[in-house]
Amino acid sequence: MFGRWVEPLWKKKFGAPYVHLVFGARQTGKSTLLRKLLPETALWLDFSRPAERAEYLRNPDLLVQRCRALPKSRRPATIVVDEAQNVPAIFDAVQHLYDSDQRRWRFVLCGSSARKLRVTGANLLPGRSLLHHLFPLLLAERPPAGAGRTRVDSPLPMPACGAANEPVFPATDLIERLTFGELPGLAIAARAQRADLLRTYTLVYLEEELRREALVKNWPAFARFLQLAAAESGQMINYAAISREAGVSLPTVKTYYQLLEDMFIGFRVTAFSGSPRKSLLSTERFFFFDVGVRNAAAELPLEAAAARANPGPLFEQWVGVELWKRLQYLGSGKLHYLRTKA
């Protein structure tokens, strides 16, 4: 199993007597890493499974019953809830258990979308929880071809992290990164399968999530928006132009962008300014969280030749996403773009 940069940090933090919230887009490796770090005796609930989800939607108090039935021991029992956002009421059940005995159970709630939690006003356990995020691979987790474990100079270096004796993800060159991105599953997949896997991820994952949560009423319109937003990734957001080309209202376009953020599919970057107020009022840029997913969503050819034909914009996006991931993991600093006068 390949090592992740956050692995030793999470291992240390998960020992703290709090509820742990783990968020990140699908296929970033959340469940894989948690299964590696947490005890084999952990109780796992998977709310991506229809039967299990329906059972707890009908009766969220079932979690209380199952947890109280676990035998007491010197070490806390670990309970993991995957795709917890699908049953928002489960957060109230977790709070009840945590408040009754903070050391008997250790809860890890995992999710790939914050939309339903935000819309329903779900209880995110303020004062009782620690928040963790997982993103696609860093450069440090997947070295450049021929570099091995050689340190790569950077304006934002990452402190050494991860076990030195653990295998790293297969090395790759820049063109491969600009074409297929940095999702862990893609990094270890056969090259001939990567294009199909990326297209499937973009189509199936997004449609499954959106249709399940009834977040989009007009799917064809959203599909047009998604292609346009992906094509414009890394550029300043032009709501009016996308509204016109997608055939939806301006407020709907803004809602769609917020939806992508809530699903951890993208993030906004404001212009740099000496004035925080001016930065907030500046026109934002929107970046997809992974260059490969962006290419698939924009319906671009997933071929090295396409990346070589115009590598500049793709490279800028890849650098922006890499810096953003590092800042998120380090927990300090903020990413801006520099807007110069023509």
Average pLDDT over residues 237-262: 94
In tens, the pLDDT along 15-63 reads 999 999 999 999 999 999 999 999 999 999 999 999 999 999 999 999 9
Give span(s): CATH 3.40.50.300, the chain: 7-133
Whole-structure pTM value: 0.90
Gap between the Cα atoms of 322 and 66, Å rounded: 41
Structure tokens belonging to residue 216: 């989009």
CA angle, 207 as apex, 206 and 212 as ends, to 5°?
A: 105
Architecture per CATH, 174-337: Orthogonal Bundle (1.10)
CATH topology of domain 7-133: Rossmann fold (3.40.50)
**Residue 282 · residue 273 · CB < 8 Å:** yes
Kind and range of the H or E element at 7?
helix 7-13
Residue 224 confidence (pLDDT) = 93
In tens, the pLDDT along 191-232 reads 999 999 999 998 887 777 776 656 777 888 898 999 999 999
DSSP code, position 141: T
**Residue 108 · residue 79 · CB < 8 Å:** yes
Residue 206 confidence (pLDDT) = 75
Report the chain's C-alpha Rg in angstroms.
21
SS3 annotation, 21-35: EEECCCCCCHHHHHH
